[in-house]
């Protein structure tokens, strides 16, 4: 069993400063040790407000769950170091619960510091208010929940059935720690390590991923054009072999990165272990991917692996002309999925990459069932 790398949070505490709302003052964090935790706080000076002390785990594992959660925070959390405010918004109770449980379990942040604001944008707010509160209390196992009606001009019958939950951490010192962990630990690591990229991308796509076309299976990744988010995404996609052009994307699409090439789909599905989304969008995307006009001919390798791979056999099995069969085999050869034996004209064998591709396809089929 491979042990996951661990981050010592003492170093992060020493390198984190809480910025005042005015932006003029920076407060270093203070701490004391108790067993496997630190108790952290900061001093604001005489006459200022009293800061609540909060517990923090001495060590944070750099495992799949950590990178997935911080991918979600990068997509749907507040990210301003100046205000050191932690908010994570999502309409899926299981996703919100996953984020909450992660910080309680791994970071040892007491449940007393968490609260939830529910925003509801349907017209039957007064009828549903109590029901919504009970629904989210049951799903999140948290008592500090407030339900609010959404802004009048945005009310819609198509709005989320149970509203949108905004998970909040009511402690500025810990919010600052989480944000610094994102910027100083997680982001630099995922920009250098393709394994971390795969885990992180699951969170990113669950939060900011979009299924552009359910029929064609085109996907995209939203970004904020007013900060450095695009540059960060460009680096991590490049690490798994996907090149994107910033200037042309911002000019044409403005706020999202489209991914429409089947080769890029293979790369991103491979990086995420075929789990690009956490919800039903994943099965939709996989199903359409397997039906893609460029992928279907490649999947024919499954049948060919049990036969002598010749132009004649290909033509018979798939009921196509010899010319079409030869063209298909040359395409497989250009992708390094088969190679010509040179012993007989137009006879091929599957390469190592070809067998890896078939394993990848089988994994997709199992997940997409």
Nearest Cα to 269, choosing from 234, 242, 304?
A: 242
> Looking at residue 15, what is its pLDDT?
92
User: Residue 289 and residue 32: Cα distance in Å, rounded?
Assistant: 53
Residue with tokens 């998970």: 167
Cβ neighbours around 319 below 10 Å, total: 8
C-alpha to C-alpha distances, 243 to 50, 55, 238, 261, 367, nearest whole angstrom: 49, 42, 5, 11, 27
User: Residue 211 and residue 221: Cα distance in Å, rounded?
Assistant: 9
> Looking at residue 48, what is its pLDDT?
62
Name all domains of the chain by residue range, CATH numbers in brackets. 6-187 (no CATH), 193-290 (3.10.28), 296-368 (1.10.10.10)
How do the pLDDT tens digits run along the chain, 369 residues long? 345 699 999 999 999 998 877 677 888 999 999 999 999 999 876 656 678 899 999 999 999 999 999 999 999 988 777 767 889 999 999 999 999 999 999 999 999 999 999 999 888 888 889 999 999 999 999 989 999 987 876 777 778 889 999 999 999 999 999 999 999 999 999 999 999 999 999 999 999 998 877 666 789 999 988 888 999 999 999 999 999 999 999 999 989 999 888 899 999 999 999 999 998 889 989 998 998 888 999 999 999 888 889 999 999 999 999 999 999 999 999 999 999 877 666 789 999 999 999 999 999 999 876
Q: Which two tokens stand for residue 341?
A: 């034996």
> Looking at residue 317, what is its pLDDT?
93
Pairing of strands 114-120, 145-149: parallel
> Looking at residue 1, what is its pLDDT?
38
With left for phi above 0 and alpha for psi between -120 and 50, is residue 217 left, alpha or beta? left
Radius of gyration for the alpha carbons in the chain, expressed in angstroms and rounded: 25
Give the pTM: 0.90
Pure H helices in the chain: 9-14, 64-76, 93-105, 125-140, 172-180, 187-190, 194-208, 229-239, 246-252, 262-271, 281-290, 296-299, 301-304, 311-317, 322-334, 352-368
> Looking at residue 2, what is its pLDDT?
46
């Amino acid at each position: 069993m491979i042990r996951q790398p661990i981050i010592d949070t003492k170093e992060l505490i020493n390198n984190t400063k809480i910025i005042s709302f005015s932006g003029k003052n920076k407060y270093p964090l203070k701490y004391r040790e108790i067993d496997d935790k630190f108790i952290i706080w900061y001093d604001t000076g005489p006459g200022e407000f009293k800061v609540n002390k909060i517990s923090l785990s001495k060590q944070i594992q750099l495992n799949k769950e950590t990178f997935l959660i911080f991918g979600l925070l990068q997509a749907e959390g507040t990210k301003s170091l100046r205000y050191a405010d932690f908010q994570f918004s999502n309409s899926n109770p299981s996703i919100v619960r996953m984020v909450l449980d992660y910080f309680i379990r791994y970071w040892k942040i007491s449940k007393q510091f968490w609260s939830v604001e529910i925003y509801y944008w349907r017209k039957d707010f007064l009828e549903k208010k109590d029901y919504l509160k009970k629904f989210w209390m049951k799903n999140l196992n948290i008592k500090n929940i407030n339900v609010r009606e959404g802004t009048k001009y945005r009310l819609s019958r198509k709005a989320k059935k149970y509203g949108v939950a905004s998970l909040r951490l009511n402690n500025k010192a810990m919010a600052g720690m989480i944000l610094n962990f994102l910027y100083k630990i997680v982001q630099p690591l995922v920009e250098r390590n393709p394994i971390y990229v795969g885990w992180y991308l699951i969170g990113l796509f669950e939060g900011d991923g979009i299924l552009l076309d359910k029929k064609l299976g085109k996907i995209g990744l939203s970004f904020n054009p007013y900060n450095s988010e695009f540059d960060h995404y460009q680096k991590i996609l490049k690490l798994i072999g996907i090149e994107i052009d910033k200037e042309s994307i911002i000019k044409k699409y403005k706020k999202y990165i489209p991914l429409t090439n089947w080769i890029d789909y293979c790369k991103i599905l491979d990086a995420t272990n075929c789990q690009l989304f956490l919800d039903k969008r994943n099965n939709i995307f996989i199903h359409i991917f397997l039906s893609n006009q460029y992928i279907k001919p490649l999947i024919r390798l499954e049948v060919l692996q049990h036969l002598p791979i010749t132009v004649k056999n290909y033509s018979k099995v798939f009921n196509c002309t010899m010319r079409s069969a030869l063209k298909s085999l040359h395409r497989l050869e250009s992708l390094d999925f088969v190679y010509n034996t040179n012993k007989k004209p137009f006879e091929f064998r599957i390469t190592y990459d070809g067998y890896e591709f078939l394993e990848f396809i089988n994994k997709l089929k199992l997940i997409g069932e």
